[in-house]
Structure 1
Amino acid sequence: MFKYSIFQYYNDSFACSSNHHGQVGKHVFNDGFYSGACIELFQFNWLAGCTEAYLDLLRNKKPKLDLEEMGYIGAHGVAALHKYKYSGVDHSYTAKYVLQPFWSRFVKIFPLWMPPNMITLTGFIFLLTSALLGYIYSPRLDSAPPRWVNFAHGLLLFLYQTFDAVDGKQARRTNSSSPLGELFDHGCDALACAFEGLAFGSTAMCGRTTFWFWVISAVPFYCATWESYFTNTLILPAVNGPTEGLMLIYFAHFFTAIVGSEWWAQPFGKSLPFLSWVPFIHEITTYKAVLFLMVAFAVIPTLTFNVCNVYKVVQARKGSMLLALAMLYPFAVLLGGVLAWGYLSPADIMGNYPHLVVVGTGLALGTLCVLDFEQCHFKGLGRMILAHLCDEPKGLKTGMCMSLLYLPFAIANALTARLNDGVPLVDESLVLLGYCAFTATLYLHFATSVVHEITTALGIYCFRITRKEA
C-alpha cells in the first residue's frame, strides 16, 4: 500500500468523524481531503491480538504539528488519544461508603473555573511540603521531630489523598476530562511515593531503612501500572494502597503526634505488648517489624493480584507471560543498581543522605526504561502510562534508558574507594547531587515534552479549562 510521503497532523481546524464502535475511523477536514493524500491502516500486534489504528493525514497548509517531531506520542498515539476513555474499578468498601460521599461534597468547594490539573498539582505540593518539613527537622531521618510535625505529616497526606481523589470529579463537573489528566495524575503519584516515604521516615525515625519504605510503596504502584497496561483498566481491590493504605499511614502520623516518634524505636514487643508472643519480630525495632508486616500482608498479596490479572489477559490472547513479566525488569535493574551503590558506598549514602537517595531514585522511577516497547519510544513508568493512554502496541525491544545510565558511574566511583584507602575519586555527596539533578532533568524534560504534545494534539491547555481556538 502507498506509504504517506508527508507526515503532518492538524488538530485545531478539522472536524473529526470517527466510528468509535468500529475498528477504524476517518477524519474529514473542513476544506476537504488534500489531493493525493491517503490513509494507511496499521495493524499492531499485542501478544497475538490485533489493534487496528488509523493515521490522520494532511491538508495543503503550513503544518501546526509535525508528527515526526513528536518524540513521545507519534501518529498512532495522536489518533488513539482522541478515542481514549479512562477505565477504572475501585472495589474498596471504605471508598464507596465513607470517602466517596465526602469527596463528592468536598469537590464543590472548588470553583468551576478551577482546572483539575491544578488540583492535582496542589495535592502533590502538600506532599513536597511534608518531605521538606521532615528534612528540616531530621536531615538523616534518625532523630525525633517536634510532634506538630508528625501531625502536619498526617494532615498533608490526608489533603493529598483528598485532592488526588477529587481532581477527576472536578474534570467531570467542568466537562474537561482528557487523557492528559490521567497522565498528570499518575505522574505526580509516581513522585508521591518518594516524598511520602520520606515523611514517614521522619515520623518513625527510620534512618537508612527509609529507602525500603519507598520500595514497598513504589513496587505496588509500578505493578499496578504494569497491570493496567495490559488490562486497559485500573483495578483496585477491596483493600488497596490509595485508599486503606494511605489512611493507615496518616493515622500512624496522627498517633505518633500523641505518643512521640520514640515509640517507633522501641522493640516491637514493647510497643505492642499484646503481640509480644510473635516470634522473631517481637525483638526488633517497631518500624522494622511494621516493614516486614507490610511486605507480608500488603505488598505480596497486591503483587499476586496484579500478576493474576495480567496472566488472565495474556492467556486469553494466547501470549507469552514471560514476555509480560520481562517488562518488570526495568524496576529490578534500578533497585539492584541503587542497592549495589549503597552497599559499596564508603560514605554510607543510605544512612547519611536518605533524602537524596530516595528523591533521585523516585525521579528515576518516573522515567525508568531499560526496555523500549516495540514500535514505540515510550519508556519507564511515566512512559508506560503514556503508552497505555496512546494505545501503543504491547511488546518489547531492548534499549537502555537514560535514567539508568548514571548508576554505573556512581557504582564505579564507590569502587575506587577500595583502591584509594576508602576515599572515592569524587565525593559521594556531589555524586548524589548529580544523580538527583540528572534524574530531575530527565523527568522534567519528559513531563514538559509530553504535556506540550498532548495539549497540542487535543487542542487543550494544561492549566486552563477553555479549549484552544482554531
Structure 2
Amino acid sequence: MPLLAYKECHILSPQQLRKLSEHKYSCFSASLLDPLLQPWWNWLVAQTPLWLAPNLITIVGLILNIVTTLILICYSPNGVEAPPRWTCALCALGLFVYQSLDSIDGKQARRTNTSSPLGELFDHGCDSISTIFVALSACISCQLGHYPNWLFFQCFCAIALFYCAHWQTYVSGTMRFGRIDVTEAQFSIIAIHLVSAALGPEIWLTKIPIVGVSWNYTILVFITFGYTLNIINFLKMFIEGGSGKNGSSVAGTSVLSPSIPLTLVVLPALIIAQKSPENIFTEHASVYILAFGMVAAKITNKLVIAHMTKAEMEYLDWSLLGPTLLFLNQYFNCILPEIWLLWFALAWGTQDLLRYCSQVCLEICQHLRIDLFRIPYSPKGSITTSVGSQSNLGADKNGGASHRKSKSKAH
C-alpha cells in the first residue's frame, strides 16, 4: 500500500533516483565551431556573477528564444506572409543569446562547484523545447510556408533528429556530436534571420538566375544535407550495438524500443495533416507544429530520464491525448472543427509538459537536497577557484561532466 501511494504521487521511483545520483555524463564532440567560440564563452562566464544559478541562466535564454520566436509567428503564422525585418533581427538576437547562455551554464556550474545530474537533465529539457521554436522560426524567416510539405518535413525532421540524438545516447551511453552539428546549425539559422532582416524575407522567394530555383530551395538542400549526415551517424548505432548486455541499451532493453514513442508522434502528425478536410496544417502551420512539438518534447524528456536512470521507457503518455482526439475526429468525419481540437492539443500538451518537468525537477531537488534556480550558499571554493579555473574552462564547453550543454543532432 505505501508503495502504491508513492507511485501515485511521484514520477521517479526510489531506484531511479538512486541511479540518477550515480549517473556520469559521457560525451564526444568533433564540432568545427565549438573550439573557435571558446574564448567568447570563457569571457562571458567570467562576467557572470557567482551567485547566479546555472539553471537560471539556461531558463532565461530559453524564455528569450521563445518570446522572440512568438513575435515572429504573430506576424507570419503560416510562413507565407513576409514578417517585418525587425522581427527576423530579433529572432537572430534571441537565438544568439540563447546559444551563448546555453553554452556557459555548465561552465558556471563548474565555476561555482554546483554541478549535478539535475543540471544535465534541465539543460536537455530546455533544448527539447527550444528545438521546436528554432526550427519553426527558420522556416518562417525564409518563407517556407509557400511549400507546406517542405515546411512539415523540415520542422518534424528537426524534432525527430533531436529525439534520435538522445535515442543514440540511451543505446550507447555516450552523446556524440559530429563536425557539423547543433552549433553549426544554430549559426546557420542566425545567418538566415540576418539575411531576412537585411534584405527582407521576400529575398528567399526570388529565383537564382542560372539555376532557376528560389533561394529558399537552396537553403533546403543544405539543411537536408546536414540532416543526412546526422542520420548516417545515427544509423551507425545499430551496427555498433548498445552498451548493455548482448548489445542492448543502457537499461538492458532493445535498441529499437525508443522508436515506438517517436512513431506515435510523427506518424499521426503526418496522417492528420495529409487527411485533413480543413487543411489543418496548411491553414494553421505554426499552431500545428507547436502542438505536436510539445508532445515530442515530453517524450524526449522521458527518454533522457530513462537514459540517466537506466530505466525502461514507457511507450504511452497522456500528452498523446491531443493527437488522438484529432485522429479520432477525422475518423468520425470531423464531428468537431479541427481547429478547436488543435488548440486543445496545444494547450493540453503544453500544460502536461510543464507539469511533468516541474514534478521531476521537484523530486530530484528533494532527493539531492538542492535548489533549482538558486545557490543558497557561498559556492565552496568559488573565490579561490573562479580565477584559476578560467584557464580550464575551454577544456569543456559546458564546464562539467554532469552539467554539459545538451546539443541536438539538428537544432
Q: Which TM-score band applies after superposition, normalised by the shorter structure?
A: 0.7 to 0.9
Name the SS of the counterpart of 2:256 in structure 1.
helix
CA deviations on 1:133-174 (whole Å, 9 max, x unpaired) are: 112221322111121221111111111111111111111111
2:165 is equivalent to residue 224 of structure 1:
yes
Give the corresponding residue for 1:157: 95
CA deviations on 1:418-459 (whole Å, 9 max, x unpaired) are: xxxxxx321222111111111112211210110111001100
2:190 is equivalent to residue 250 of structure 1:
yes
Q: Distance in 1 between matches of 2:120 and 2:112?
A: 16
**Identical pairs, percent:** 28
The structure with the largest helix share of the pair is 2
Decide whether aligned partners of structure 1 residues 346 and 289 sit closer, same or farther in structure 2, where only a CA change above 3 A counts.
farther
CA deviations on 1:268-315 (whole Å, 9 max, x unpaired) are: x34xx4xx2xxxxx54x43244324422x2112212212213532438
Q: Distance in 2 between matches of 1:70 and 1:303?
A: 39
2:31 is equivalent to residue 92 of structure 1:
yes
Alignment of structure 1 residues 23-102 onto 2, 5 Å: 68=7, 71-96=10-35, 98-102=36-40
Give the corresponding residue for 1:447: 357
Give the corresponding residue for 2:375: 465
Q: Distance in 2 between matches of 1:390 and 1:67?
A: 18
Kindly provide the amino acid, as one letter, of the partner of residue 203 in structure 2: W
Give the corresponding residue for 1:30: none
Alignment of structure 1 residues 48-447 onto 2, 5 Å: 68=7, 71-96=10-35, 98-207=36-145, 208=148, 209-240=150-181, 242-267=182-207, 269-270=208-209, 273=210, 276=211, 282-283=212-213, 285-295=214-224, 297-309=225-237, 311-314=239-242, 317-319=245-247, 323-367=254-298, 380-392=299-311, 399-417=315-333, 424-447=334-357
Name the SS of the counterpart of 2:287 in structure 1.
helix
Kept in 2, the 8 Å contact 1:67–1:75? The answer is no
Kept in 2, the 8 Å contact 1:344–1:415? The answer is no
Q: Distance in 2 between matches of 1:315 and 1:109?
A: 40
Give the corresponding residue for 2:406: none
Give the corresponding residue for 1:27: none
Q: Distance in 1 between matches of 2:368 and 2:316?
A: 30
Kept in 2, the 8 Å contact 1:141–1:206? The answer is yes
TM-score by length of 2: 0.83
TM-score by length of 1: 0.73
Larger Rg: 1
Decide whether aligned partners of structure 1 residues 135 and 7 sit closer, same or farther in structure 2, where only a CA change above 3 A counts.
closer
Kindly provide the amino acid, as one letter, of the partner of residue 264 in structure 2: V
Which deviates more, 302-311 or 231-240?
302-311
Greater relative CO, 1 or 2 (CA 8 Å, sep 6+): 2
Q: Distance in 2 between matches of 1:186 and 1:320?
A: 23
Name the SS of the counterpart of 1:314 in structure 2.
coil
Once the 2 structures are TM-superposed, how far is the Cα of residue 190 of structure 1 from its aligned partner? 0.8
CA deviations on 1:221-280 (whole Å, 9 max, x unpaired) are: 11110111122222111221x21111111011112222211121234x34xx4xx2xxxx
Which deviates more, 74-83 or 168-177?
74-83
Q: Distance in 2 between matches of 1:326 and 1:351?
A: 32
The structure with the largest strand share of the pair is 1
Kept in 1, the 8 Å contact 2:172–2:242? The answer is no
Which deviates more, 451-460 or 344-353?
344-353
Kept in 2, the 8 Å contact 1:127–1:157? The answer is yes
